Amino acid sequence: MCRLCNATTPDQSCPVQHDFLTAGAAPGAAGTFAATGTLAAQDAAASTIPQGVGVEGRRILLKGGIVLSMDDAVGNFAVGDVLIDGGRIAEVGANIDAGDAAVIDAKGKIVMPGFIDTHHHQFETALRGQLANGILINDGRPSSVHNYYETILQTFSMVYRPEDVYINELFGSIAQLDAGVTTVMDVSQIHHSPEHSDAAIEGLRDAGRRSVFGYFEGWGDRAQYPQDAKRIKEQYFSSGDQLMTMVMGGEIYLPGHEAAWATGRELDLPIALHVVGTFGMQGTFDELGASGKFGPDNIFIHMTGMSENGWKYAADAGAHVSLSVPIEMHMRHGEPPIQKAIDLGMGLSLSTDVECTMTADFFTQMRSLLTLQRMNANGKALAGEDYPELLTTLDALRAATMGGAEGLRLGGRTGSLTPGKDADIILLDAEAINVAPLNNAPGAVVTLMERGNVDTVFVAGQIKKWKGQLMGFDLARLTSELEKSRDYLFEAAGIERDLFAI
Q: What pLDDT does 446 receive?
A: 98
C-alpha pair distances (Å), 113 with each of 49, 210, 401, 418? 21, 13, 7, 9
Q: What percent of the chain has pLDDT over 70?
A: 94
Q: What pLDDT does 54 receive?
A: 83
Residue 268 confidence (pLDDT) above 90: yes
DSSP 313: H
Model confidence pLDDT, tens digit, residues 399-451: 999 999 999 999 999 999 999 999 999 999 999 999 999 999 999 999 999 99
Per the CB < 8 A criterion, the answer to whether 62 and 84 are in contact is: yes
Model confidence pLDDT, tens digit, residues 324-338: 999 999 999 999 999
Q: What pLDDT does 18 receive?
A: 61
Residue 269 confidence (pLDDT) above 90: yes
Higher-confidence residue of 279 and 96: namely 96
| β-strand pairing of 181-188 with 88-93 | unpaired
The β-bridge partners of 463 are 458
Put simply, whether the predicted model's pTM sits higher than 0.85 gets the answer: yes
Model confidence pLDDT, tens digit, residues 341-371: 999 999 999 999 999 999 999 999 999 999 9
Model confidence pLDDT, tens digit, residues 113-130: 999 999 999 999 999 999
pLDDT band at 35 (very low <50, low <70, confident <90, very high): very low
Residue 380 confidence (pLDDT) above 70: yes
Domain 115-407 belongs in CATH node 3.20.20.140: yes
pLDDT band at 20 (very low <50, low <70, confident <90, very high): low
Q: What is the mean pLDDT of the chain?
A: 93
Query: Which three-class secondary structure state does DSSP give residue 274?
Result: strand
pLDDT band at 28 (very low <50, low <70, confident <90, very high): very low
- The domain limits of the chain are 115-407
Q: Where are the beta strands (DSSP E) in 381-436?
A: 425-429
